Amino acid sequence: MKKTLTVNLGGTVFHIDEDAYRLLDNYLMNLKHHFRKQEGAEEIVNDIENRISELFSEKISKGQQVITLIDAEEVIHRMGKPEDLSDEEPSKQEGSSEHGGYHHETYSQESGSSRRRLFRNPDDKVVGGVLGGIAAYLKVNVSALRLIVILLLIFGVGTLIPVYIVCWIVIPEATTAAEKLSMRGEEVNMENIGKTVTDGFEKMADGVNSYIKSEKPKDFMTRLVDGMVHLFSLLSKVFLVILALIFSPVLLVLSFVFVGLIIGAIATLAGGSAIIYELLPSLDWNMISASPLIVIVASIAGIILVGIPLASLLYGILRVIFNWQPMIPGLKITLLILWVVSLLTIILCFSQSNWVFPYYHDIWYLTGI
C-alpha cells in the first residue's frame, strides 16, 4: 500500500503516488535551476509542465487512476533531462536521493514525432498566419503556397477570401512552444521547447516582426512572392483610401444628422413636445399616432444602428492606412451592446406607434368601398 497525493499540474488535477511525486518535483526543480538564466525561463517550465500534464492525461484516459513512479519515469525520459543539455560529467549527473535521479528505465521508450496539429503560424504570417500554419503542417514551401493563392485570386477565384476568413476564425493560433512544435510535427520535449522559447525571445530582441522584413538570404521564389505581397499590400491601401473618400461624405452627413437629432431631443426635453412640430413642420404628423419623443428616440436609435457599422468600417480602413492600434476588446463589446440596444429600441418604438395612411382611405372613399 502506497501513499497517494493530489497535485495540480498544468491546470489539471492528478492523483499521484508519493514516489512519483518526489521524482517529478525533483525534475521540475532541476528544470527551473537549469533555465534560470535564460530569457523566458518561466514560460519554458510552464510549457514543459503543460506537456507533462497532456502525457499524464493520455494515461488517465486509458482507465488508469493513479500516476505511478514508472509513469513519471517514462514521461521524464520522453521530455528529456536537464543534465543531457549540460557539459557536466556523467558521474555528476546522478540524483542524490533514492528516487530523485533518473536512472530508472524499466519501461520502453515511446520515440517518434509528436502528433501533427494544424495551427495558425504567428512567426510566419503576412495577414493571419493561416498559410504559414498550413505550410508547416504539410511541410511545403510557404512562399510557393502564397504564390498559388495569389495567382488564384488574380484569375478570379474570389471564394478563397471567405474561405481564408473562416480558416482565420476556426483555426487556433500556436501561442505556446508546445503548440508550435506540434504544428511542425516535432517532438515536444524539454530541449525543443527551450529552443523554441529562446528563439522567440531572440527574434523579439532583434526586432524581427515580419517575415518580409527578414534579412536572411532568400531564393528567387521567396523574393518573387515577397514582391507580389508587397504590391498587393500597396494596392489594398490605395483601394482603402479610395473607399474612405467615397464613404467620408456619407459619414459626414450621418454625423450632422446624428448631432441634429441629439439637439432636437434635448430641445424636446427642455421645451416640451410642441417644439417638434416647429422643428419639422413639413412632416404630416397625422400619419403617425405616436408621441414626438418616440419619433426622436427611434431616429437616434436608427442613426446609431447605421452609424456604428460605418464608423467601424472607417476606423478599420484608417487603421490599415495609418497603422493604428486595433480597438480594445472592451470598446468592441460596448459598441456591439449599443448596436443591439438600438435595434431593440427601434423595434419597440415601431410597435408602440400606429401608422395611418390617408392615401388608402381616399381610394376607398372614391371607389365607394
Specify if 78 maps to a domain: yes
Asked whether residue 176 is domain-assigned, the answer is: no
Close Cβ partners of 338 (under 8 Å, ≥ 6 residues apart): 304, 308
- For the ranges 101-110, 164-173, 306-315, the lowest mean pLDDT is seen at 101-110
Find the mean pLDDT for residues 346-350: 84
The number of distinct structural domains making up the chain is: 2
pLDDT at 92 over 50: no
pLDDT at 247 over 60: yes
239 vs 152 pLDDT, higher one: 152
Burial of 45 (0-12, 13-18, 19+ CB in 10 A): buried
Structural domain contains residue 317: yes
First to last CA, the chain: 97
Quote the pLDDT of residue 79: 74
Residue 278 lies in a domain: yes
State pLDDT tens for residues 4-47.
888 888 788 888 888 888 888 888 888 787 777 766 677 777 87
Which three cell numbers mark 289? 399616432
Provide DSSP, 46-98: HHHHHHHHHHHHHHHHTT--SB-HHHHHHHHHHH--GGGGS---GGGSS-SST
Domain coverage including residue 337: 232-361
Give the separation between CA 258 and CA 190, rounded to whole angstroms. 59
The predicted structure's pLDDT at residue 87 = 46
**Residue 19 falls within a domain, yes or no?**
yes
Report strand pairing: 4-9 vs 12-17: antiparallel
Lowest-confidence segment of 116-120, 243-247, 324-328, 356-360 by average pLDDT: 356-360
Asked whether the CA dihedral 179, 181, 186, 192 is positive or negative, the reply is negative
Which of 85, 101, 120 is a domain's end point? Answer: 85
When pLDDT is cut at 50, 70 and 90, the band that residue 137 belongs to is confident
Helix (H, G, I), strand (E, B), or coil: what is residue 288?
A: strand
- Residue 320 above 70 pLDDT? no
- Domain boundary, last residue among 57, 85, 113: 85
Full-prediction pTM beyond 0.85? no
Helix/strand/coil (H/E/C) assignment for every residue in 2-49: CCEEEEEECCEEEEEEHHHHHHHHHHHHHHHHHCCCCCCHHHHHHHHH
Asked if the structure places residue 100 within a domain, the reply is no
CA distances from 340 to 106, 300, 331, 358 (A): 63, 13, 14, 33
In this prediction, residue 113 carries a pLDDT of 47
| Pairwise CA distance, residues 194 & 94, whole Å | 22
Residue 193 in contact with residue 40, Cβ under 8 Å? no
* 191 domain residue, yes or no: no
Q: Which of 63, 85, 107 is the last residue of a domain?
A: 85
Q: Is 254 a member of any domain?
A: yes
From the number of C-beta atoms within 10 Å of its C-beta (0-12, 13-18, 19+), residue 24 rates as: buried
